[in-house]
Structure 1
Amino acid sequence: MTTSQEELLAGTRRSLLHRIALAQAEGRAPSLVAAVVRGGEAVWHGARTSVDGHGPDENVQYRIGSITKTFTAVLVMRLRDEGALDLGDPLEKHLPGTGAGEATIAELLAHTAGLAAESPGPWWERTPGVLRPGLGDVLGEQPLVHPVGRRFHYSNPGFTLLGALVEELRGAPWEEVLRREVLEPLGLHRTSGRPRAPHAGGWAVHPWADVMLPEPAEDLGRMAPAGQLWSTTGDLARFAAFLAKGDDRVLSAESLLEMRTPAAPPEAPDVAAGYAYGLGMEIRRQDERLLVGHSGSLPGFLACLAMSVEDDVAAVVLANCTSGPLLGTVAADLVRIVAEAEPRIPEPWRPMREVEPDVLELAGQWYWGTYGFALRLTADGLVSLEPLTGKGRRSRFRANGDGTWTGLEGYYAGELLRAVRRPDGTVSHLDLGSFVFTRQPYDEEASVPGGVDPDGWRGIG
């Protein structure tokens, strides 16, 4: 992958290099590589120290651990979009006999299926996958440790089940389906289930001495959909661009937005840390910036992909050590450096091509009781409703083609907005999920539930 480093200012590039150099030195990583994506393209690549005697570049493979889960989730969402399954379907409907069939597909994607965090038996990341030939070996006799759907509990076996679901519905091995439906269309030719030269070796760094020990690189077998993949900063940069904007050959932008939306009730410590989980994607708030992506680790390797959709900046960081540098913090810092040093240039404002008069007359100020709201029409064809002051409830609405609009986010997501007209065609009020919005606070001429006192507004005398 050719990166155009000239697209970033020299000062920005130096700040990025300084940050990964600090992470590699203080984290004592044998090697560390990183990439930054802006506008859908890799604009910077950096590396520290060497792999097999030469400086690692964007084509050297590292193991990416649980970032694999996001790839698996994309395959499941493709099946949903094709109508092969519904996210509300219990697993048993498509993959019977697992012992965890009560959980829905959405709950498996969001880690709320109640499954154990790890598979029973030996430390699965350091033992051959052939020791777990079937799903029973992955789940054990009692796969559930929590009631289904009640709490977020990160589960590697849960994504093993999702990989098995993909295989069942596609009639082919998980990795074959992944290559055909995701890797090849996106041009991720250096992402694979097994390492391909050039690739980094995994190391354990002694916590109290500057010496290292090689880590085994086991084939995870049935657990592969949870953490098997090897990849490069070049490929993951392309993947990050896809996760932000979508690609209709693989998955739409709308479905990816669904994946990036919190789907699991966070635990109290996660709330304090600003952490949530969507459908195969992690969501973090760091320094008031919302970052989505996924982290990963396996013995000998650390990985992180983080992106700020609002800033249109993503970062990928990979290292070949079991512990050491905090790559989530490093990736967040790389995003911040670019976003603050070179803020995103907004798209130019352009007027609407045309607008229907009966829609235009709805624009302006409305009141829900005594709360003031503004309704605006935007050039993208949407309608927005937001408070005149303060934060409050706000949402954008998409036209349904019949004079109504459907809420896209927040409190009003999925709710119907319609203009209620009098017999003479004039607008009486707006109805939004039974809430009445009037042109004046408690407008006497509108149909306000409970009516309006006939004596009207008054002071205290």
Structure 2
Amino acid sequence: MTSEADPESGLEPDPKPGPSSDPDRGGSGHRLERLVRQVQAQARVPALAVALHRADRPLWTCQVGGTGNDTALGPRSRFRIGSVTKTFTSVLVLQCRDDGLLDLDDPLGRHLGLPAHGELTVRRLLSHTAGLQREPYGDVWDTLRAPQVDELIADLVRVERVLPTGRRYHYSNLGMALLGRLVGALRGGTWAEVLADRVLTPLGLADTSVDPGPQAVTGFLVDAYSDEAHPEPPTDFGAVGPAAQLWSTATDMARWAAFLADPGALDPAGAVLAPATLDEMRWPVTTTDETVWKAGFGLGLILVPYPDRVVHVGHDGAMPGFLAGVYGRRGGDGTAGAMGCAVLASSGTAAEVSELPHRLLAAAAEHDPAEIPPWRPGPGAPGSLRGVLGRWWGEGFEYVFSWHEGTLRARGADDPVGRPPAVFAPIPESPDVFRTVAGREVGELLRLTRGTDGTVVALHWATYRFTRHQETFDRYDFRA
């Protein structure tokens, strides 16, 4: 087990350990290591590599087992990450949108010459709601021969749309492969070239690539009724690479998970993607199971909700001989900034691996919580807004308007502590009009109405009237 920053990353090192940032403080590191070792032993995983990234502690890593070849298992051992690759392709697509190269509601055929299914939109393919069949045409998993780009495109005439577009979630490797082709066409290169240039290099993910490299771990099928481990054959996914091709280390993937959860901490200039765009990707578009709402899907990202407004965001991966879980943690008491966990395994059958990143993130937040920053006094509200502060009534319910951190805010009087407030931003050309930029009624306007003496006598938020006292809809008179 190690707990040190990667000196090869080319970026600023993680925080150095100190009196309040020791990853083993209170036995937290030992607790995490024990969880890892339990899964490796009980699920019979030949090699298990784990990393936990957070802004306020040194990087924590743990490796258990052996590679199955003549290389030693360590922090730079590479595993196949399977469908975690889709998160990278999705970020590349959103980069194209932010750069004005496409609109998410564009049909794919607007940008690619396709013999069929060109009417499917970028947004639907990202969220797996396009209804496109799961795999390319043919028995890919029998032959382990993936099509090349020309073959993939030509075979679209034989591909089914198995569900009406927008009907429900239906996972599609083929859909993500087409998005990878789209990115390459728009940027003038291959998907792999664009990925390296626009994501891997800027974020310092030096051990992530389309090729296994010399430190690759061997993937296995572990026999169900004996201790024998059968090596799986190596595979190259060709044109389906944007859905599942990448190899990486737990260290790189923990950093990637942290970026998906808290991009501003790892990419403060927004060179890879603006934080607001990651917010958009993390918004749930659909559930993955209509009867058990345990997970949702955004734009290329899996969203796993937990109590107390905690969400884990990322993706799982599965390829012959490998399983991966890569998730960042957002929200909740104890969650640190830039908190991400990666679990990479050299077994294709160890189902327990899929829960381990979630267990480790929860354990780290509970047993080694982020420090609570002290409150400090700040400036008060501008004179023109002081009359807005306090309690107002709208639709029969009470709200509290306040001024914190330089912004006007509002909360329901009975809101639970963890629910974020609505936040308002002024509209410069209209002094008494604000735009809701976060929280309840985001996007809607807040208008202040003043009496003849300049006092604020009413608010209209999303056109609903707010008054200082509880009133029926017909009792308010602006002249009062």
- TM-score exceeds 0.5: yes
Going from structure 1 to structure 2, the CA distance change for 1:286 and 1:391 (only over 3 Å counts) comes to closer
1:145 equivalenced with 2:154 (yes/no): no
- Given the alignment, which residue of 254, 276, 282 partners 2:302? 282
1:34 equivalenced with 2:55 (yes/no): no
5+ residue gaps, structure 2, are: 1-5, 8-13
Letter in 2 for 1:368: G
* 1:76-126 CA distance string (max 9 Å, x none): 111111121222222222224252222221211111111112223113486
Which piece of structure 1 moves more, 165-174 or 341-350?
A: 341-350
* 1:177-227 CA distance string (max 9 Å, x none): 000000001111110001101110111111111112111221111111111
Residue of structure 2 in register with 1:69 after alignment: 86
1:294 equivalenced with 2:311 (yes/no): no
Letter in 2 for 1:16: L
Residue of structure 1 in register with 2:327 after alignment: 306
- Given the alignment, which residue of 421, 424, 431 partners 2:450? 421
1:341 equivalenced with 2:367 (yes/no): yes
Which piece of structure 1 moves more, 109-118 or 190-199?
A: 109-118
Residue of structure 1 in register with 2:10 after alignment: none
- C-alpha separation in 2, matches of 1:209 and 1:233: 28
- C-alpha separation in 2, matches of 1:113 and 1:439: 48
Going from structure 1 to structure 2, the CA distance change for 1:173 and 1:296 (only over 3 Å counts) comes to same
Letter in 2 for 1:309: R
Residue of structure 1 in register with 2:474 after alignment: 450
- C-alpha separation in 2, matches of 1:344 and 1:308: 12
5+ residue gaps, structure 1, are: 443-447, 454-461
- C-alpha separation in 1, matches of 2:111 and 2:169: 23
Report the CA distance between 1:42 and its aligned residue. 5.1
- C-alpha separation in 1, matches of 2:147 and 2:118: 24
Matches for 1:357-396 after TM superposition, within 5 Å: 357-379=383-405, 381-390=406-415, 395-396=421-422
Residue of structure 2 in register with 1:226 after alignment: 243
- C-alpha separation in 2, matches of 1:432 and 1:63: 50
Residue of structure 1 in register with 2:274 after alignment: 252
Going from structure 1 to structure 2, the CA distance change for 1:41 and 1:429 (only over 3 Å counts) comes to same
Q: Secondary structure at the match of 1:129?
A: coil
Contact 1:103 1:149 in 2 (8 A): no
Report the CA distance between 1:135 and its aligned residue. 3.2
Letter in 1 for 2:407: L
- Given the alignment, which residue of 153, 178, 183 partners 1:166? 183
TM-score, with structure 1 as normaliser: 0.90
Q: Secondary structure at the match of 1:22?
A: helix
- C-alpha separation in 1, matches of 2:140 and 2:435: 49
Report the CA distance between 1:378 and its aligned residue. 1.6
Letter in 2 for 1:362: V
Going from structure 1 to structure 2, the CA distance change for 1:320 and 1:415 (only over 3 Å counts) comes to same
Report the CA distance between 1:54 and its aligned residue. 5.7
Contact 1:384 1:394 in 2 (8 A): no
Report the CA distance between 1:168 and its aligned residue. 1.4
Residue of structure 2 in register with 1:13 after alignment: 29
Q: Sequence identity of aligned pairs in percent?
A: 35
Q: Secondary structure at the match of 2:76?
A: coil
Report the CA distance between 1:131 and its aligned residue. 6.1
Residue of structure 2 in register with 1:264 after alignment: 286
- C-alpha separation in 1, matches of 2:37 and 2:397: 52
* 1:145-168 CA distance string (max 9 Å, x none): 111122111111111111111011
Going from structure 1 to structure 2, the CA distance change for 1:103 and 1:411 (only over 3 Å counts) comes to farther
Which piece of structure 1 moves more, 348-357 or 57-66?
A: 348-357
Letter in 1 for 2:410: L
Q: Secondary structure at the match of 1:15?
A: helix
Report the CA distance between 1:390 and its aligned residue. 4.7
Going from structure 1 to structure 2, the CA distance change for 1:98 and 1:232 (only over 3 Å counts) comes to farther
Residue of structure 1 in register with 2:40 after alignment: 24
Residue of structure 2 in register with 1:407 after alignment: 436
TM-score, with structure 2 as normaliser: 0.86
Report the CA distance between 1:356 and its aligned residue. 1.7
- C-alpha separation in 1, matches of 2:356 and 2:143: 26
Q: Secondary structure at the match of 1:68?
A: helix
Letter in 2 for 1:269: T
Over the aligned positions, Cα root-mean-square deviation in angstroms equals 2.5
Q: Secondary structure at the match of 1:304?
A: strand
Matches for 1:84-99 after TM superposition, within 5 Å: 84-99=101-116
Residue of structure 2 in register with 1:332 after alignment: 358
